[in-house]
A and B are shown apart, each in its own frame.
Chain A
C-alpha cells in the first residue's frame, strides 16, 4: 500500500492524450490496488454526491454535471459487491471513456500514476469468476505491489450496453438538443 496521499495533486488533472501507453492511474477499491490506462481517463474529480436515478441498476450511483454534460457515475464498490464506504474523504470520481460513452467511476482513493512496462504485465485468462476479478484484463507488477488492471469494456457488460442503448435512444429522441 502506498502511504502518501496523492489525491490532491491528481485532482482536476486533465489528461491530454499525450500520455504514455504504459502509464496507469493506480487507485484503491476496498483493499486492492487497481490500474486503469491513463489514455482512457479524461479527468479525476473530487467526489460529489450524484443525482440519483429512479429504477437505475444498483451500481449506477446517479448522474453528475461534468463540464456541462450530464454523465452517469458507477460505483466500483457496488460493482465489486463491496459495501459502501463510510469515510468518503479521499473518494474521487475517475471520468473515463468507455466505448465512446463518458462515464464516471467512483473509487476509494487515487494513489498515483505509474509506469508498468509490458513485461511486468500478465494477462488473466484463467481468473476466477469472482465479482472483483470478472472485470480484469491483466495483473501488473509494480515493485512488489500487485496492480489489478481493469478492463473498462467489461465493467459495462453486454446487457448494460443494451439497456444503455435503449435508454439513450429514448432519451435522445426526447431531449436531443
Chain B
C-alpha cells in the first residue's frame, strides 16, 4: 500500500499540468485558511467545509493520477477534517502548526517532479495523523468511511421551501445568517440554554429554522444547536457581539453569513471557470506573444521601407503612409491587449508571504503583523515567479534583522508586534513594490565599519549618507558572519539586487535609524517587449536595454586617460571607466579617433562608458528567448528580431560591466 505505484507517464501531460496547477492553488488556499484559523481558532467551524472539500478534491485527483502516497496521506487529513466537521475534534494552535508544516511538504511534493517521488516524510505524517485522531479514540472508526463532503452534515437540512425562502431573501438584498451554538461539558441544561438563546435571537430577525427543531429542544440531549436567521439588513458589529455574548455556561456561539451549498460550490469554481473567465495555458499565451513579436518585426520593416521609398505615385504613397500609421496604431492596441493577458493581480505574489512571515516570526521568536496594500495591481505573471525569491529574501532580512524582539520594542516604546508592510502600485510602465518594516533601521556606522573591514571602501573615503546605505547591496559586503546584532542586515543583498536587475528593475533603500527600513523595488510591467538602445559593432547590431542607459556621448581618443592600465574618461566630477565593446567582444572595426561613440550606462552607484562603433537610436524590440539551443554567452541577455530581418543581440549590461571592470 505504501509503495509508490503511480504511473503518470501514461497520462495526458495537459491533464497532469491542470491537476498540478489546481492542486497548488488549493494548497495555497488551505494555507490561507489555516493561517486565519491560527489567528482565531473559532473560525475553523466557519472554514471546515472548505477545508474538507480541498482535502477531498486533492485526494480524489491523486487517486485518478495514481499517486498512492499522496492519496493516502491526504485521506488522513480529510479524516481529521471530517472529525472537526462533526464537532468531534477542535484544532488547537499546536495542531494547526503541525498542519501548516504538512502543507509545506504538500507544496514541496508538487514543486518537485512528483512523478518519481514519494511523499515527503510519508510514514511520519501517516502516524502523526493517526495519533491526532487517536486523541479522540473510538470515534475514528466511524470516520474511516469514505464520504463525500456533506455540507449540511451537521444535521441542519433545509427543506426545498426553506431553500427558496433563503434564496428569495438573499435576492432581495436582505441577509441570512447561520448561527452555530456549541455546548460543552460545562453546559448544565443545553435544552434550556438553547430555548433562552432562541428567544433572545428573535429580537434580531426572523428565525427560519433550527436544528434540532424548536419543539424538540426540551426533549433531547444534544451538543449543538443550529439556527438560520433572516435579517432585514446586515447585522452591526455590536449586534453580532451581543449575540455572541449571549453565550454562557461554556457555550460557544459562532455566527456567519449563510451560504447555500450551491453558492459555495460556485465560489469554489470562481477561481477556475465561472464568471466569464476561462483558464488558458500560459504556453498558448506565449505563442500568441511570439506571433505578436513577428508582427512587430513586420510592422517595423514596413515602416522602414516606407521611409526609404520613392514618390513615383504620390497619392498611392500618401495612402500607403496613412495606412501604415493606422496599422501602427492598431498594432499598439493589439500589443497592449495581448500583453494584458499575462497580467495577474500582484495578490498572487503577496498571498505567499503571510505563511513565510508566520514561519520566520516563529523562528526568530518575534511578533509580526503584516499588511498588504495595492494587491489588485497587475503584473506580468512571469515576473511574479521571478520576484518570489528576492522578495522572500528581503522579507527574511526585515524580520530577522530589521524588527526587534518584543522586549526590545516595548523598551523603546513601540508596539510589541513589529509591522511589515507590502505595498504595490503602478507608475507609468513600472510596478513599484515597497517593503517596509518599523524596526530598528540601518545602523550606518556599523555598515561603514563593516565595509572598511571587508575592503569595500577605504577608511579615509568620504561617502554620502545614501552611498553608505547602498553599500549593503555591494557584492562582498555580505559574509555569513554577523557583525553585532544590529547590522547583520546585508546578508546576500547583492543577490537580491542582481535578481531585480535581471528583470531590468532597480532597488533602493531608505532608512531612519530606530524607526524603519524601506526597500523600494521598481520593475518594468512586462518582460516581453523592451525599449532598447541600438548600437553597431563591425556591421552587427547590438541592443542595450534602455533602462540601463544614461546617455550617449561622442569623445575624442585623446580624451581617454589610463588609470591603473584601464581606460577612463573624466567628466567632472566623475571618473567613468570605459569598456571598448569591440575589444571585449572581439569584433574589431576601424576606429575614428576623433569621434568615439560612447554609451554611458548605470552600474550600481557609478557609471560606465561603452565604446561602440555607431549609435543607431531607440527601438522597441521583442526579446526572444534563444529557444532550447545554444545561442548566447554570459554577456548576452537575449536576441531580438529587427524590422530589417536581422537579429540583434541584447547586451546584458551588468555582466559586461562586471566582467570588464571591477568596481
Contact = CB atoms under 8 A, between A and B. Distances in A.
Secondary structure at the B interface, as helix, strand, loop or mixed, is: mixed
Interface stretch (B156-164, B515-523, B619-627): B619-627
A173 B502 contact: yes
Interface string B429-458: 000000000000000000000000000000
Interface string B633-663: 1111111010001111110100000000000
B642 to A, nearest CB: 9
Nearest to A173: B502
Contacts of A103: 629-630
9 contacts: A70-B626, A70-B647, A160-B630, A167-B631, A167-B632, A170-B634, A175-B623, A177-B382, A177-B623
B643 to A, nearest CB: 12
Interface of A: 51-56, 60, 63-65, 68-72, 100-103, 156, 160, 163-164, 167-168, 170-177
Contacts of A51: 540, 639, 646-649
B425 interface: no
Given A51-B647, A54-B585, A171-B625, A68 B641 contact: yes
A64 B642 CA distance: 12
B150 interface: no
Interface of B: 286, 289-291, 293-294, 382, 386, 502, 527-528, 540, 584-587, 622-639, 641, 645-650, 652
A51 B293 CA distance: 19
Given A51-B540, A54-B636, A68-B290, A177 B626 contact: no
Contact of A68 (B293, B629, B637, B648): B293
Contact of B624 (A53, A70, A102, A156): A70
Given A68-B294, A70-B627, A168-B628, A53 B649 contact: yes
In the complex, which of the residues B622, B623, B629 has the most CB atoms of chain A within 10 Å of its own CB atom? B629
Contacts of B584: 54
A71 B632 CA distance: 10
A175 B631 contact: no
A103 B528 CA distance: 23
Secondary structure at the A interface, as helix, strand, loop or mixed, is: mixed
A159 to B, nearest CB: 12
Contacts of A65: 641, 645, 647
A177 B633 contact: no
B220 to A, nearest CB: 64
B383 to A, nearest CB: 11
Given A63-B647, A71-B629, A177-B624, A54 B637 contact: no
B647 A177 contact: no
A56 to B, nearest CB: 6
A175 B629 contact: no
Given A52-B540, A177-B622, 6 more contacts: A53-B632, A63-B632, A68-B290, A72-B631, A156-B630, A167-B634
A52 B630 contact: no
B624 A69 contact: yes
Given A65-B641, A72-B630, A172-B625, A54 B647 contact: no
A29 to B, nearest CB: 20
A164 B623 contact: no
A173 B293 CA distance: 19
Nearest to B527: A177
Contact of B636 (A53, A68, A101, A160): A53
A60 B649 CA distance: 15
Contact of A54 (B293, B386, B587): B587
B502 A174 contact: yes
A7 to B, nearest CB: 22
Contact of A102 (B294, B528, B540, B627): B627
Nearest to A172: B625
Contact of B633 (A56, A68, A160): A56
A72 B586 contact: no
A63 B624 CA distance: 12
B527 A69 contact: no
B628 A53 contact: no
A52 B648 CA distance: 10
Contact of A174 (B291, B629, B633, B638): B638
Contacts of B647: 51, 63-65, 70
A101 B628 contact: yes
A17 B371 CA distance: 56
A55 B635 contact: yes
B93 to A, nearest CB: 40
A54 B633 contact: yes
B631 A53 contact: yes
Nearest to A57: B630
Given A65-B645, A72-B631, A54 B624 contact: no
A53 B294 contact: no
A171 B631 contact: yes
A173 B584 CA distance: 24
A171 B636 contact: yes
In the complex, which of the residues A60, A63, A64, A103 has the most CB atoms of chain B within 10 Å of its own CB atom? A63
Contacts of A70: 624-627, 631, 639, 641, 647
Contacts of B540: 51-52
A175 B291 CA distance: 16
B587 A175 contact: no
B498 to A, nearest CB: 11
B623 A52 contact: no
B325 to A, nearest CB: 25
A77 B289 CA distance: 36
Contacts of A72: 626, 629-631
A53 B586 CA distance: 10
A63 B294 contact: no
